[in-house]
Structure 1
Amino acid sequence: MYVLADGTERKLYLREVIIYLVISLLLNSMGNGLTVACNMGSAMWTASAANLAHDFHFSIATILIVYGIVSILVNVILLQHFDWHRIIGNLIFIFPYGYFVSLWANFFRSLGVTSLPIPTRILLDVIGIICLGIAISIYQRVNVILHPNDDMTNIIRFKYVKGNPVAAQLLNFAFPSVVIVVLWVVFKEVVAVNIGTIIALFFQGAVIGWTDKHLFKRLKHRLKFIKDKKETLAVE
């Protein structure tokens, strides 16, 4: 929804939806690709996927797609009903997304990011995580198509934790955190987990909340697909 100067709301025009989605999808895949290339710690889901890809010799694109499908099933459980519009939107998102992340990662590697000094890579890694948080905020508010992992955050946020983005993001990160720990115990090695992962774990939700209030401030959450007949949710 878009809030006008007089406080009234209107639906987004198609061209606005396209612009917001293009901006957010580019920021999301670029931010994730940058963190993978820097190897100073990716966001939790990407870090978890990178470890699975490393330990079982799959491409990270394949793991990200599988994660997306698993997340769709979890979202159905969280919503307690099938929402085919939501599921189709998730599927539209995840198949190109994994490959875009891989392409961006390869692009940044080709620029020599992996050989930069550690302080520079840490800075670029943090920038990548911030880009990711900004992107998530934008397309969660548009709520037309979302990555199912971020859709999960949206569902948890507005259905279970009263709109709190930090709590929702921490709950969303529980599964990839467990995967990383299990792989570390079994294989005695961890990749893509570093200072950036810690920053993402504790501050990505805060970046999403800050972006909701300060970037594209008139763009408000569209909760059409988050249904709960027993509650009326207030969006800050």
Structure 2
Amino acid sequence: MYQDNGKPTIAGDFILLIISIIINSLGNALTVSLNLGSALWTASAVNMSHLFKMNLGNILLLEGIAVILANALLLRQFDWHRMLGNLIFMIPFSYLVSGLAHVLTVFHIQQLSVVPAVILDIVGVMMIGCGISIYQRINLILHPNDDLMQILRFRFLHGNAVLASLTAFLTPILIILICVLIQHQIWAVNIGTVVALLFQGTFIALSDRFVFKKLKHQRL
């Protein structure tokens, strides 16, 4: 899977990319189905799906398109290769999260008692950080939300994953607050959201060090 110089082969890049998407999608689906707090971007999409009465997959897709445009503004250019990669990543990812969340409800995991449910929700947040770490290091194609964090991290914040993660979260926090003000209800925000806010950058940084340790950041 790796070349002699330590970089992944072409096949290795795609294998690692698929693994990372599955890990991230399953982590997001866990947090959505448990309803004990999702990662902030997912939580913002869940609240918008209730506000606009739309499928979660469709909201995730529309939210991602908006972030693609925001990223282009930050980069001060329309990098069509990068934007196409964002779309290629985002379309299957959005509906995979929505589909897996529906499948997990069949197993009634939302009926777990509080302690195992909270533990499983935190595991879901950790899986999201792990998945992000892997595909950000591959840097072949990225979800636009994670591309935003990558842009902030390496272009503005000197490689600091924790600070970049916190900065990127300002937008979904604002979206959630606006949704709450309009509909006076809140979804997918709980202990898992707090864990994601405080520690997702840390989970990404730790995964950078300990998950697929040979994999370094590429194509920056």
User: TM class, shorter-chain normalised?
Assistant: over 0.9
Partner Cα separation in structure 1 for residue 110 and residue 75 of structure 2: 41
**Structure 1 residue 12 displacement after superposition:** 2.6
Q: Which residue of 2 aligns with 1:234?
A: none
What is the TM-score of this pair, normalised by structure 2? Answer: 0.96
Q: Which residue of 1 aligns with 2:182?
A: 186
Q: Which one is further off, 107-116 or 43-52? A: 107-116
Runs of at least 5 residues in structure 1 that lack an aligned partner in the other structure: 225-236
Q: Which residue of 1 aligns with 2:104?
A: 108
Count of residue pairs brought into register by the alignment: 219
Q: How does 1:51-130 map to 2 (within 5 A)?
A: 51-130=47-126
Q: How does 1:1-236 map to 2 (within 5 A)?
A: 9=5, 11-224=7-220
**Structure 1 residue 81 displacement after superposition:** 1.3
Partner Cα separation in structure 2 for residue 138 and residue 3 of structure 1: 17
CA-to-aligned-CA distance 1:105-124 (integer Å, 9 cap, x gap): 01110011111112221111
What is the TM-score of this pair, normalised by structure 1? Answer: 0.90
Equivalent residues of 1:136, 1:150 under 8 A apart: yes
Q: Which amino acid aligns with 1:112?
A: H
Q: Which amino acid aligns with 2:51?
A: D
CA-to-aligned-CA distance 1:206-229 (integer Å, 9 cap, x gap): 0001111111111111134xxxxx
Runs of at least 5 residues in structure 2 that lack an aligned partner in the other structure: none
Question: What is the root-mean-square deviation in Å for CA atoms of aligned residues?
Answer: 1.3
Partner Cα separation in structure 2 for residue 66 and residue 73 of structure 1: 11
Partner Cα separation in structure 1 for residue 168 and residue 102 of structure 2: 27
Q: What is the aligned-residue identity percentage?
A: 44
The verdict on how the C-alpha distance between 1:123 and 1:117 changes in structure 2, with shifts beyond 3 A counting, is same
Max radius of gyration: which structure?
1
Partner Cα separation in structure 2 for residue 134 and residue 163 of structure 1: 17
**Structure 1 residue 185 displacement after superposition:** 1.6
CA-to-aligned-CA distance 1:37-64 (integer Å, 9 cap, x gap): 0000000000000001012210110110
Partner Cα separation in structure 1 for residue 10 and residue 103 of structure 2: 31
Equivalent residues of 1:134, 1:207 under 8 A apart: yes
Task: Name whichever structure is richer in helix by fraction.
Answer: 2
